[in-house]
Amino acid sequence: MKRLVLAGAGAIGARHLKHIEEHPELTLAAVIDPNPDVAKLTAAPAHPSLQNIDIEADGIVIATPTQDHEATFNEAAARGWSALIEKPIASDLLAADRMIAKAAACDVHILTGHHRRFHPKVQAMRAALPRLGQPVLATIIWSVKKPAGYFDVPWRSGADGAPVRMNVSHELDLLQFIFGEVTAVTGLGGNPVRKAARVESGGLVLSFASGLIATVAFADTTPSPFGFEHGTGENPNIAHTGENSMLITGTAGALAFPSLTLWRGGKDWGDAPIAETVPSDDGVPLVRQLEHFAGVIAGDEKPLNDGNAGRRTLELTLEVERLTLP
């Protein structure tokens, strides 16, 4: 049984709270949030801040606004708690570097909340990769329409409401999880529909140390069925269509995600490949991520989404933000 503190019980924090409370091997030790209404969400003790509060716990889930991640983590690390920190790990690379150094000094772990790494179909896709021979190309489409009300929140009206930091960062982390180190990225962006002062659609090309080339097309102005959340049904707020959002091709086969259709056996373009479906487990990514966090705290598992991985995804995301400025 692991005792976890939750800091920040907003949009994503409330989902963590529910998953911790429902899990037979996790206990919610306390919730930290300056919003007094949060106490109504749980029977666990609720406090406005961590300062001067005595709590017996094994770790903390930090789901505060990004700019507060570092201060909350410092407080937690000083108590010897490992932390599952929502993505992005921090607002900038210097803060991420300080947090990684602090974790080492306090001998605690950082996990970064790129929860797609725990999606059972993502893990099945990753495990099936050797069956494609040498992976050569990958292409992702994330083409959704965000409701108008989404932009009514003041901080989302400008660049921070653009889909790069909020959404494309997940695609960048997914690609690195599957294909390893990105060696270069280029891209273009625009704002042809809403014409607000932020990028709303664009395209990226990434190269990997293996030689693989990946493309990512993204838009938040297009009500299409194509996108990771549409395809997997992973987010309760985004409609489930089941359509593929990622295609991978290699020297011996091809794979579509999330259908996990694997095509193999075609010798060249005159020869039709045969389709089969790769099996995958069931499971909720956020729950599997919490279980992994408990395993890391216990010393039974090595972090699959550590602070350095989170920092690298942040670095790439900031670069893509720069490249796609309209």
Ligand X SMILES: NC(=O)c1ccc[n+]([C@@H]2O[C@H](COP(=O)([O-])OP(=O)(O)OC[C@H]3O[C@@H](n4cnc5c(N)ncnc54)[C@H](O)[C@@H]3O)[C@@H](O)[C@H]2O)c1
Q: Which residues bind ligand X (CB under 6 A)?
A: 7-13, 32-35, 63-66, 68, 72, 86-87, 113, 115
Q: How far is the CB of 170 from ligand X (least distance, A)?
A: 7
* CB of 212 or CB of 290, closer to ligand X: 290
* CB of 246 or CB of 255, closer to ligand X: 246
Q: How far is the CB of 10 from ligand X (least distance, A)?
A: 2
* CB of 7 or CB of 26, closer to ligand X: 7
Backbone angles phi, psi at 80, to 5 degrees: 85, 20
Q: How far is the CB of 308 from ligand X (least distance, A)?
A: 18
Q: Is the dihedral of CA 6, 298, 177, 251 positive or negative?
A: negative
| Nearest position to ligand X, beta carbon | 10
Q: How far is the CB of 130 from ligand X (least distance, A)?
A: 29
Q: What residue type is 150 in one-letter code? A: Y
Residues 221, 201: Cα–Cα separation, whole Å: 8
Q: Using alpha carbons only, what angle is made at residue 47 by residues 42 and 50, rounded to the nearest 5 degrees?
A: 130
Half-sphere exposure of 85 (CA within 13 A, CB side): 35
Backbone angles phi, psi at 301, to 5 degrees: -130, 150
> What six digits make up the tokens of 257?
């995600």
N-terminal to C-terminal alpha carbon distance within the chain: 49
Q: How far is the CB of 272 from ligand X (least distance, A)?
A: 39
* CB of 3 or CB of 116, closer to ligand X: 116
> What six digits make up the tokens of 192?
């042809």
Q: Using alpha carbons only, what angle is made at residue 11 by residues 1 and 53, rounded to the nearest 5 degrees?
A: 50
* CB of 60 or CB of 256, closer to ligand X: 60
Q: Match 């896709």 to its residue by tokens.
A: 125
Would you say 60 and 84 are in contact if contact means Cβ atoms under 8 Å apart?
A: yes
Q: How far is the CB of 55 from ligand X (least distance, A)?
A: 13
* CB of 236 or CB of 270, closer to ligand X: 236
